[in-house]
Chain A
Amino acid sequence: MDTFALLAHGLVGALQPTNLLYALIGVTLGTAVGVLPGIGPALTVALLLPVTYQFDPTASLIMFAGIYYGGMYGGSTTSILLNTPGESASIVTALEGNKMARKGRGGPALATAAIGSFVAGLIATLGLAFISPWMVKFALSLGPADYFALMVLAFVTVSAAFGDSALRGLTALVLGLTLGLVGIDLQTGQARLAFGLPDLLDGIEVTTLAVALFAVGEALKIAASPSEADERIEPVKGSVWMNREDWARSWKPWLRGTLIGFPIGAMPAGGAEIGTFLSYSAEKALTRHPEEFGHGAIEGVAGPEAANNASAAGTLVPLLTLGLPTSATAAIMLAGFQQFGLQPGPLLFATNATLVWSLIASLLVANLMLVVLNLPLVGVWVRLLAIPKPWLYAGILTFATLGTIGANPSPFELGMLLLLGLLGYGLRRYGYPIAPVVVGLILGPLAEQQLRRALAISQGDASVLVHSPVAIVLYLIAAVAVLLPVWLRLRGRGKVLSQMAADED
């Protein structure tokens, strides 16, 4: 088996002391930001972009992936103990998990979340390893027009398919695309939308946009909000270990969650949230204890948490093999690759095989670290939840502006941060999703590149875009992704969709 050899080779790379250290830093940071409300993996990776500029690419990317995975674990802790999801993929976990914690069963809830995440992460990482070579073969057969269609599909699913309004999702996306236009056109050297400002020639910094939308916008919204949420941290009473019945009721939801979450993450559609909702519904339908649902059913924690982590691993399939980010965190990781002059996609598997396979193998290592970090050490993370809001947000803004200044140490950049931060506040206030803006900024220029390549080959004949069957199928799926939710909303089923709103990560 070729894949086994590659994976084993990657494992050797991942187990090098430096890479192990970076993986550990990544998962620790990731767990911390996953636990803390107001800061998530997308923002954290963006903040680290300027810091890691001079680091080794493999080690940095391993750290980024660790942050992504760690965020998924950490988010569940907050959901269960505080009923305020630390990140959006953990919303469902709060439904049953917090009820369990209130009944004094917080320990087993945390345990089933952590072990379920581990099982799912392990299986999904193996899935990633085995599917990737096939995806690479498929990707190599695609032309520029097909790639463009694929990106259109990603744009549509990230912005319009979920959330409660296609209009607002698409507006967020197009704002991101507009921001992506700013700066020098790579092919011709033509400055676009720079308004004669030299600082704008390099385009909008990814770090600045992420900090503005996630940190500044969020801080403004939380500070301005008149409603004080009732936040009570449930203490972890008793053992964190699960009893025999907990195990018996957990293992099937773990596996089902993985089976649901991984394919959803692996499709060029958006986010880890969707899988968690589907898994929750599946467990609710299949359970032998329907009376416990809504009052702390362990299946309702085990399944969605597994789905959540499996989706996170799945998201790496389109990111690594196609260069297609389908969540805000994946988009910023793509910017991380670009920072090192690497372009994820089928060619990366040929030109940087060691890096890719070390990265994939490091996910196995990261999962193991995370179980250790999250089960015995859960008490440490719980303390993070007790940080008072003023200090928390003062600290977040301090570090957030640190990242912006690190990317470009000029007052101009801080001015951009302020402007885009106010935009972020406005988006939040009026219910626009954030992730499409980030995906638009990063994926937009790549989509334009493919579009122009396709049109250059056809000498400007736009019909080339729909010449290949692959492209036609992709456009059809994209059309369904826009129209189906509209139809569902018209039939009064919009509630489900708005719950699935891909908000942050």
Chain B
Amino acid sequence: MTTSPDGGQGPGQDPGQGPGRRRPDVAALVIAVLLAVLAAVVFLETRAMPVAAAYARVGPANAPYLISAFLAVLAVGHVVAAFLHGLPEREADRPGPMLWIVGGLVLQMLLLRPAGFSIATGLLFAFTAKGFGKGPLWFTVPLGIVVSLVIWLIFAGLLKLSLPAGPLEHLFL
């Protein structure tokens, strides 16, 4: 994926959800644009591919062109759907809990190499619990790190899965 995912419109901003709505469904239009952008990206990337001698006229470019065309058709389909009936009714999602979980994933990604598996994943654990309303962090972060360390010892130590080690892991192995 190169385009930002569908959630890009942001939660809690869904217009036109009232009864008897006549306006087009904005979310469906946004998704249509994203699909069109994706179609264009696939098309342009494929056209930019260095072309080897076209053997028997079938090559690595056929399928991407085909899929790019599908994406374009689906984008048009979404425009039509936006004006006809729109996407199904949805709740106004709360951004707060999502930000905690996304934040946890970002921290884990950034800290995986420098701090090792246990600290990075322990933070994800604590932030996810926080997203679901369980705190406080001074309790859940150490708990998460201990849980992750146990997992690391089992999976990296016993099952030989390659999980990045940091200062904490080096104390054990």
User: Which residues of chain A have a CB within 8 Å of any CB of chain B?
Assistant: 50-51, 54, 164-165, 167-168, 170-171, 174, 177-179, 181, 185, 187-188, 190-193, 195, 216, 219-227, 388-391, 393-395, 397-399, 401-402, 405-406, 409-411, 414-415, 417-423, 425-427, 429-431, 448, 451-452, 455-456, 459-460
Contacts and interface: CB of A to CB of B under 8 A. Distances in A.
22 contacts: A167-B81, A193-B46, A195-B45, A216-B101, A223-B132, A224-B94, A225-B94, A389-B132, A390-B128, A390-B134, A393-B131, A394-B124, A394-B126, A402-B121, A405-B117, A405-B163, A409-B112, A419-B1, A422-B6, A431-B87, A452-B62, A455-B56
Contact of A187 (B5, B8, B50, B60): B60
Contacts of A398: 121, 124-125, 128, 144, 147-148, 151
Contact of A391 (B38, B117, B134): B134
Given A220-B98, A402-B151, A414-B105, A181 B63 contact: yes
Interface in B121-165: 121, 124-126, 128-134, 140, 144, 147-148, 151, 155, 159-164
B109 to A, nearest CB: 4
A51 B144 contact: no
B95 interface: yes
Interface residue tally on B, bucketed by range: 35 or more
Given A421-B105, A431-B88, A456-B58, A193 B124 contact: no
Contacts of A185: 60
Nearest to A227: B91
Nearest to A173: B70
A225 B56 contact: no
B129 A391 contact: yes
Nearest to B35: A171
A51 B46 contact: no
- Prevailing SS type, chain A contact patch: helix
B1 A420 contact: yes
A174 B70 contact: yes
A406 B163 CA distance: 6
B88 A430 contact: yes
Given A390-B128, A402-B151, A192 B45 contact: yes
B67 to A, nearest CB: 5
A35 B63 CA distance: 40
Contacts of A415: 109
Contacts of A417: 105
A455 B66 CA distance: 14
Contacts of B16: none
B15 interface: no
A165 B11 CA distance: 22
A397 B101 contact: yes
Contacts of A51: 155, 159, 161
Interface string B1-38: 11011111001000000000000000100010001001
Given A193-B42, A394-B128, A418-B102, A226 B6 contact: no
A226 B71 CA distance: 33
Interface of B: 1-2, 4-8, 11, 27, 31, 35, 38, 41-42, 45-46, 49-50, 52, 55-60, 62-64, 67, 70-71, 74, 77-78, 81, 87-88, 90-95, 97-98, 100-102, 104-106, 108-110, 112-113, 117, 121, 124-126, 128-134, 140, 144, 147-148, 151, 155, 159-164
B58 A452 contact: yes
Contacts of A170: 70, 74
A427 B94 CA distance: 16
Contacts of A402: 121, 151, 155, 161, 163
B134 to A, nearest CB: 3
Nearest to B38: A178
Contacts of B101: 216, 219-220, 223, 397
Given A193-B46, A223-B94, 12 more contacts: A174-B71, A177-B67, A191-B49, A192-B60, A223-B98, A393-B129, A394-B140, A395-B147, A398-B121, A405-B163, A411-B110, A414-B112
A167 B129 contact: no
A227 B102 CA distance: 20
A405 B164 contact: yes
Contacts of B161: 50-51, 402, 406
B93 A429 contact: yes
Given A427-B6, A460-B58, A397 B128 contact: yes
A431 B89 CA distance: 9
B105 A418 contact: yes
Contacts of A419: 1, 5
A459 B67 contact: no
Contact of B144 (A54, A187, A394, A452): A394
A164 B88 contact: yes
Contacts of A174: 67, 70-71, 74
Contacts of B109: 411, 414-415, 418
B113 to A, nearest CB: 6
Nearest to B86: A430
Contact of A224 (B56, B97, B105, B147): B97
B31 A430 contact: yes
From B59, B151, B163, name the one whose CB has the most chain A CB atoms within 10 angstroms. Answer: B59
Contact of B163 (A222, A389, A409, A426): A409
A380 B148 CA distance: 24
